[in-house]
Amino acid sequence: MSRTPFVGGNWKMNTGPESGPALAREVAAGAAEHPGCEVAVFPPFPFLLAVGRALAGSAVKLGAQDCYFEPDGAFTGEVSLGMLKDCGVSVVLTGHSERRHVLGETDALINAKTRAVLAAGLECVLCIGEKLEQREAGQTDAVNERQLRAGLAGVSAEQMARVTIAYEPVWAIGTGKVATTADAQDAHAKCRGVLAAMFGSAVAQATRIQYGGSLKPGNAAELLAQPDIDGGLVGGASLKASDFVPIIAAAAGRV
């Protein structure tokens, strides 16, 4: 089963009203050279509209880094999926490690958000991954399985067509430490096994699993050539088109 590679640029709490759209224009131009790879950028909320305008006419998708699961009401500081759709967002991250471990999001909240994204008709990138102490304690596979099962509870096999998994080992995010190719491939294959147990093998084979964690132009080709690694979710290296576009090229050239 061939899966179209998918590379996302998670800008986190970076860029500004001018640098965001400028980066988006450069990404759109670069991505157009590599049509074999699907691309999305995830700017901060205040710049969604401006980045969306910068992406107009390009195939690059506009993504949101987070959402709230309620449609409206007294939820100070939160942003609904209807609002994100009005901004042109088509794909939303849930469960990013910084939201789990810095902002304290639980598996239950992440599941509510994931189900709300899918109920709103959008695509979802559910992020999972173990912390260093969990890896060292031999718990990597158990943590990933728990986060997959909890995050995807109540999601149907049909909705899985709009789900991407991002495996981002927490100890590799923003640290310059990258999982070895063998460790990353092994974790991805295990995650696919969990998806097969949950949804059947056809869904598992069709679901894209991105790698995230210090992905750079220099390590992307080897990681993205692995059979179960279907693209990447990129943080730091997505902030410069000269770093991000070569990662897109590596994903598009995956054999």
Q: How far is the CB of 172 from ligand 13P (least distance, A)?
A: 6
Which part of the chain contacts ligand 13P (CB under 6 A), choosing from 28-36, 102-110, 135-143, 233-241? Answer: 233-241
Q: How far is the CB of 97 from ligand 13P (least distance, A)?
A: 6
With contacts defined by CB under 6 A, how many residues of the chain interact with ligand 13P? 14
Q: How far is the CB of 37 from ligand 13P (least distance, A)?
A: 17
- Radius of gyration of the CA atoms of the chain, in A: 17
Tell whether residue 95 is a contact of ligand 13P (CB under 6 A).
Answer: no
Tell whether residue 249 is a contact of ligand 13P (CB under 6 A).
Answer: no
**Minimum CB distance to ligand 13P smaller for 45 or for 196:** 45
| Binding letters toward ligand 13P, positions 15-54, x by CB under 6 A | ----------------------------------------
Look up tokens 């964690």; give the residue: 213
Q: How far is the CB of 65 from ligand 13P (least distance, A)?
A: 9
Scan residues 143-172 and list those touching ligand 13P (CB under 6 A). 168
**Minimum CB distance to ligand 13P smaller for 65 or for 203:** 65
C-beta separation of 52 from 84 below 8 A: no
Tell whether residue 231 is a contact of ligand 13P (CB under 6 A).
Answer: no
3-state secondary structure the chain: CCCCCEEEEECCCCCCCCHHHHHHHHHHHHHCCCCCCEEEEECCHHHHHHHHHHCCCCCCEEEECCCCCCCCCCCCCCCCHHHHHHCCCCEEEECCHHHHHCCCCCHHHHHHHHHHHHHCCCEEEEEECCCHHHHHCCCHHHHHHHHHHHHCCCCCCCHHHHEEEEECCHHHCCCCCCCCHHHHHHHHHHHHHHHHHHHCHHHHHHCEEEEECCCCHHHHHHHHCCCCCCEEEECHHHCCHHHHHHHHHHHHCCC
**Minimum CB distance to ligand 13P smaller for 207 or for 219:** 219
Tell whether residue 236 is a contact of ligand 13P (CB under 6 A).
Answer: yes
CA 152 to CA 58: how far, in whole Å?
Answer: 31
Tell whether residue 235 is a contact of ligand 13P (CB under 6 A).
Answer: yes
Q: How far is the CB of 155 from ligand 13P (least distance, A)?
A: 21
Would you name the residues annotated as active-site residues? 96, 168
Can you give the binding site for ligand 13P, defined by CB under 6 A? 10, 96, 168, 173-174, 212-215, 233-237
